[in-house]
Amino acid sequence: MVKITIEKQCGCFRKSSHKDEQSFNTKQLAEVEAQKMCEDMNKNFCFKHKFYYEVIENNIIIKMEVNR
């Protein structure tokens, strides 16, 4: 089981339809979903922050930083 978690949630993320925690059977499926989430947040929701993900063992953590 591979888990996607959100490290920090800005207001835009909380207003989106994305879940703050999800589980997947494979790392590949989880990475595809994490990539989609980051792309959607970066392009459609939050222009103040940049979202990206890191894979740490069987966890994928979506992180954000101030967009410059």
Q: Which residues contact 30 (CB under 8 A, 6 or more apart)?
A: 2, 3, 4, 22, 24, 60
Antiparallel, parallel or unpaired: β 2-6 and 49-56: unpaired
Q: How many distinct structural domains can be found in the chain?
A: 1
What are the residue ranges of helices labelled H in the chain? 11-15, 27-40
Give me the domain span that covers residue 31.
2-66
Summarised one tens digit per residue, pLDDT across range 31-62 is 999 999 999 999 998 889 999 999 999 999 99
Question: Cα–Cα distance between 45 and 5 in angstroms, integer?
Answer: 18
Q: What is the pTM of this model?
A: 0.89
Q: What is the mean pLDDT of the chain?
A: 93
